[in-house]
Structures are given as C-alpha cells and as structure tokens.
C-alpha cells in the first residue's frame, strides 16, 4: 500500500510526502485466505491439493471471494477440482478480517509516516482518495475513515485514470492531443480495445462501432416514435455510464444488448436493415398502407457453422465445469458436437472460452480465426454458458424478434438514459424463426429488469402469468432446442414424422418424435410417466365435472388435461408448498397455449 500527500491549487499539484508498505497489497490478503482454504480442503478431503491447474483455480477463487466480500457479508466458494473433486466452503467477511487481522492493524503506519514527513495531522487533510484493489476492502475503508474522522472518496476509476494519464503524457511528448474527437468516449474505447482486442484492433474500428451504435439508436427512436407516444427524452450513446456496472454480467453497457460482440460488417448490416424499416414505415404513413411482415436465428447463412465438431479451448482461469456443462446442454439435445483441443489453429474457426468482464460472445461463426466467449464474474452458470454458445451458433435474443410486441411491452420510460438501443427489434429479413412462436421462457430472453431505473421493470409480458418466467437461466426451453435443431440438424433424418403437440422428428433418433416436457410416445400422444409414478391424462366431458389433483413428497408429476369440444378448463391452485422456494427444481409449470412446446407459465 502506498500513501501520497498532495497539495493542489489551480490545476497544479505538488507531492509533499510519500510512504508505503509493500506487504499490504491485495495479494497479501489473498495469500492468507489461500492458505486457510488449503487447510480446509485437507480437513474435508484428507488430501493435499498439489495439481497446478487446481491450485491456480483456487487462487482465482480466492480473488473472486475477496471481491464478493466487498459487498456481501459472506460468499460460497464452490469448486470442482480435477484431482480431488468437489469442494465447498462458506467464507464470511468476519473470518476474512480475522485471518488478516495483523495486516489490517498495520494500515495506519504508512499514513502516519507520510503525515509526519510533511508535519501535518489528520485534521489538516481536506480529502482522502482511495484508489486500487486493496482499498476496496470495507475494513480498510473503515480504518482510514476512522483515522481521519471523515468518509474517504473511493469513486475514482483507476483503469480510466491510467488511460487518461497515458494519453496526456503522449500529448506532452508529441506536443498535441492524440485522441482528438475521442474524449467523450475514452472509457468505452479503453474497454473495447482492452477486452475485445480480437474484434476491435484500432481506434478507427471502435469509432466505426460507436457511430454505428449511435445511428442504430437514432433510427430506432424514429421508428418507435411512429408507434409509441411514451418515449423518453433524447437518448444517445454518449449518455452511457461506461465505467459503471449495471449489476448484471449479461448487460455490459458497451455491447449490443449487453453481451453480443458485433463486427463492423454486422453493425453496417443492422444499420441498413433499420434504415429499410424506417423507409417502409414512412412510406406507409404517407400512403396509408399496412406494413407487411414477411416471416431467432441469424438468416445470414455464412455466419452458421458448417464443420463439426466445433473445436474449443478453455483458459485456466475459467470455471471449467460450467463450460463443459454448458456445451453438454447443446450436445445432449442437438446433433451439434464440440471437441476440446490443446490449442486452436490461428487461421481457422473455433471457440476460446476466456475469463473476461461479464459474459459476451460474437454472433455466429467468425471466419478465419478463433472467437472468444467471455465467461467472467457471475457468468459461470452452465445455462448462461449455453446462452453465450447460442450467440456463437447464430442466435439473437428472443425479445429482438419482429413480433415481440404481440407478447411483451417495453417500458421505455423505465429504461436508463442512453440504453434505448439495447431494446432493438430486428426485422424478419434479418432473423428467421422457423415458424416457431415467440418463447417467453427462452434462455435467450431478457429478464424483466434489464437496464432498468431504480428496479422498475423494463419488460412487461402481455400475459401477466408469464412475468416471472422471462429471463430464466436454469434450462434450455423446448423451443430453444427445437430452433437449434431446425437450423443445424434437419438433414439428420431422411423423413419427418407426423408428430403431435408441437413435437418434431428427433435428429438423434429418427424413429421417434422429440416431445415437449410431460409428453412421450412415438408421436407425442401419451403422458410421460416419471419415476414418481404420478400424473395422468384427464378428459372433462361436462360442465359439472370437478377433479382434485394432489401430490405429497418429492417427485415430478405430468398431467394432460383435455375438455370436450365447446368446454373450457378452469384451473384453481388451492395450495402449493415447496421445501425450498425459488429453486429451479421446485415449480409448477402450466402449458395452456395452443402450442404445448412453448414454455408454460412458471
């Protein structure tokens, strides 16, 4: 930890004194927790952890735990080591502070030394600025605040400060400002050039991206102004708070819709498409005609993968288990295959799973080089991994479909300023749905609070029963898998079966249908019996009929309820009790739409 006492006046600063302790860095705190966990691992497993990859995984987990404890009183460390298997430990902030007690007790010594050198006391300091990793630790902030009897300022973004400092220094060296025209977006430029160097190689690449995003936002606003009268005030890319986390790793503010990395070519394609949409609307407004809807996977076939298995590598600092499970979700349900490699060829396509800021992926296959899929902090849910892989396979987000307004309503006034262009609606010429209805339960759908002001919902479902369904990340929906199979696996079977209830010919077994959850049989005509041996097909023939469905214990039950022609079914939920609430395996799902393949209300 380093301490500097600065005197500032009229943009001039003078360093009055400096002091430090090189044993008070972030890694020193990490080392104490690292040794603690090695001890706990041996106590739990009776084994020493010696594998190099496992030790590196543990060090990364320690850093992540330290960051989590910045805002949380405790954090669960959940690891799956290659050499000894699973390990779980609940680390509390209190334990973290106890293990590092002696380090915390020495925090004020370099502060006192620096003040003594310039003959000042704590009361003489006007402002305390904390910058750097270890100063994010709550205990350090408390100690420093108590010493000076005032709240420290810890709102400085250090990476941005470094970028600005380097730019200013370069300007001094060459007698000019090297980033003319980029000052407004310097934080964004740093993020894109640093995090996505494989897509954005130069300032010009980033500038083209920014201009394209701004134009998309402008055209989108004009399109929506014809259809909605509740749009917020002028909204532009420059209003974005690029250095501020939105709290959701799938909602990175500088990427389209939060996690999609688009090339300059793709941005230009989107801009051209939105210009076309606007021209059609303006023409129809002037000539009193109706917009014609032609027909959510990218329709640019050149972006789809054509060679399988798809090669991939996993960087050591990524949650390996989550990646493998995310891949397995698609391999188990489709004909698509993947193959892990030691390294990827520099001139061919492949997937490189990296630990980056948030979650991100290119859309579709990148030709002639590998493409990175970012699985960063809080992204290591296997179904978040599957979501990002789906982008790489060509999927856009579900709420970008041209027909979304029939199913959801975007609450534009609840969107944070600068983020209107994160709710684009693509035309049918850019996407194809294979005739599959909009899926509110898709793993590719935004949740209700994406880019929201003060916790206000930005997406409301037209059917209120589905409000809690959107944004789920605990399974691939039946229609997610169906669309992927239609895109990549239709050639797997020489014939198609006459499947019922939205089923389709199973590309992994052409002799039977792939059925929606709860159904089975050759053509999906039967109720699937589970290990619990509950569930049935119920047929109501008169208005007076009443049946009570009841189950106690742990299990899964499927019921197919039908009514005679002219009758409607009324379902009343008298009582539902689960041991664990809000868990992915504790729910009631009701399919009551015309397509039983669509996710039911949860």
Annotated binding-site residue numbers: 387, 391, 397
Percent helix, strand, coil in the chain (nearest 5)? 35, 15, 50
Distance CA 213, CA 239 (A): 12
Long-range contacts made by residues 272-280, C-beta under 8 angstroms, separation at least 24?
A: 273/426, 273/427, 273/429, 273/430, 274/216, 274/219, 274/220, 274/223, 274/424, 274/427, 275/219, 276/427, 276/429, 277/219, 277/223, 277/427, 278/219, 278/222, 278/223
Separation CA 533–CA 107 (nearest Å): 63
Q: Of the listed 64, 388, 468, 556, which one is catalytic?
A: 388
Please state, in angstroms and rounded to a whole number, the distance separating the CA atoms of residues 66 and 58: 12
Query: What does the alpha-carbon distance between residue 216 and residue 222 come to, in Å, rounded to a whole number?
Result: 10
**Residue 415: strand, helix, or coil:** strand
Cβ atoms < 10 Å from Cβ of 295: 11
Residue 434: name the closest of 321, 298, 537 by CA. 298
How many residues are given for the chain?
602
Asked if 220 and 274 count as a contact pair (C-beta separation under 8 A), the reply is yes
Can you tell me which residue has the tokens 């680390």?
91
Is 43 noted as a catalytic residue in this protein?
no
Helix (H) or strand (E) holding 267: helix 264-287
Tokens encoding 33: 């927790």
Q: State how far the Cα of 27 lies from the Cα of 133, in Å rounded to an integer.
A: 9
Going by the annotation, the residues of the binding site for Zn(2+) are: 387, 391, 397
Quick check: 449 and 457 in contact, CB under 8 A?
yes
Q: Do the beta carbons of residue 505 and residue 513 sit within 8 Å?
A: yes
User: What is the rounded CA–CA span in Å between residue 568 and residue 573?
Assistant: 16
Radius of gyration, CA atoms only, the chain: 28
- As a whole number of angstroms, the distance between CA 376 and CA 251 comes to 12
> What's the longest Cα–Cα distance across the chain?
94
How far, in Å, CA of 268 to CA of 398, rounded?
A: 21
Q: Which residues form the catalytic set?
A: 388
């Amino acid at each position: 930890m380093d301490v500097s006492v600065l005197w500032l006046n009229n943009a001039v600063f003078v360093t009055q004194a400096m002091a430090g302790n090189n044993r008070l860095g972030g890694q020193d705190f990490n080392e104490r927790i690292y040794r603690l966990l090695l001890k706990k691992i041996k106590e739990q497993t009776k084994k020493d952890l010696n594998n190099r990859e496992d030790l590196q995984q543990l060090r990364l987990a320690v850093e992540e735990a330290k960051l989590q404890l910045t805002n949380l009183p405790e954090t669960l460390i959940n690891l799956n080591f290659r050499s000894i298997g699973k390990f779980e430990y609940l680390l509390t902030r209190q334990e973290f502070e106890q293990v590092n007690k002696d380090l915390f007790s020495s925090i004020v010594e370099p502060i006192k030394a620096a003040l003594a050198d310039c003959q000042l006391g704590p009361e003489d300091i006007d402002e305390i600025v904390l910058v750097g990793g270890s100063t994010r630790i709550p205990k350090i902030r408390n100690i420093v605040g108590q010493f000076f009897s005032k709240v420290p300022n810890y709102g400085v973004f250090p990476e941005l400060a470094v970028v600005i400092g380097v730019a200013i220094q370069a300007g001094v060296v060459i007698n000019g400002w090297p980033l003319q025209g980029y000052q407004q977006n310097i934080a964004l430029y740093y993020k894109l050039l640093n995090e996505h160097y494989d897509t954005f190689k130069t300032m010009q690449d980033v500038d083209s991206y920014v201009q394209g995003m701004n134009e998309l936002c402008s055209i989108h606003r004009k399109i929506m102004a014809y259809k909605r009268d509740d749009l917020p005030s002028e909204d532009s890319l420059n209003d974005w708070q690029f250095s501020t986390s939105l709290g959701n790793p799938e909602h990175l503010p500088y990427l389209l819709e939060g996690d999609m990395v688009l090339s300059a070519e793709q941005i230009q394609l989107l801009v051209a498409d939105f210009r076309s949409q606007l021209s059609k609307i303006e023409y129809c407004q002037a000539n009193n005609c109706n917009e014609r809807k032609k027909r959510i996977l990218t329709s640019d076939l050149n972006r789809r993968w054509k060679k399988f298995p798809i090669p991939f590598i996993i960087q050591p600092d990524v949650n390996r288990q989550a990646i493998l499970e995310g891949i397995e979700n698609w391999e188990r349900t489709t004909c698509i295959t993947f193959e892990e490699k030691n390294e990827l060829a520099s001139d061919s396509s492949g997937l490189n799973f990296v630990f980056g800021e948030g979650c991100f992926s290119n859309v579709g296959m990148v030709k002639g080089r590998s493409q990175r899929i970012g699985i960063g902090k809080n992204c290591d849910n296997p179904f978040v991994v599957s979501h990002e892989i789906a982008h790489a396979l060509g999927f856009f987000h579900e709420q970008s479909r041209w027909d979304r307004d029939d199913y959801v309503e975007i609450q534009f006034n609840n969107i944070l300023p600068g983020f209107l262009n994160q709710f684009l609606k693509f035309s049918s010429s850019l996407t194809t749905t294979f005739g599959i209805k909009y899926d509110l339960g898709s793993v590719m759908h935004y949740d209700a609070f994406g880019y929201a002001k003060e916790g206000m919902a930005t997406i409301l479902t037209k059917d209120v029963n589905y409000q809690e369904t959107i944004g789920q990340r605990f399974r691939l929906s039946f229609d997610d898998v169906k669309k992927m199979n239609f895109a990549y696996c239709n050639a797997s079977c020489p014939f198609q079966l006459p499947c019922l209830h939205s089923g389709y010919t199973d590309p992994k077994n052409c002799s039977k249908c792939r059925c929606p959850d709860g159904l089975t049989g050759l053509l999906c005509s039967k109720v699937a019996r589970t290990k619990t041996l509950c569930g049935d097909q119920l047929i109501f023939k008169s208005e007076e009929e009443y049946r009570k469905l009841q189950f106690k214990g742990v299990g899964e039950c499927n019921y197919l309820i039908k009514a005679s022609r002219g009758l409607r079914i009324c379902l009343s939920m008298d009582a539902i009790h689960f041991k664990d609430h809000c868990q992915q395996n504790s729910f009631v799902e009701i399919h009551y739409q015309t397509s039983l393949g669509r996710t039911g209300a949860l």
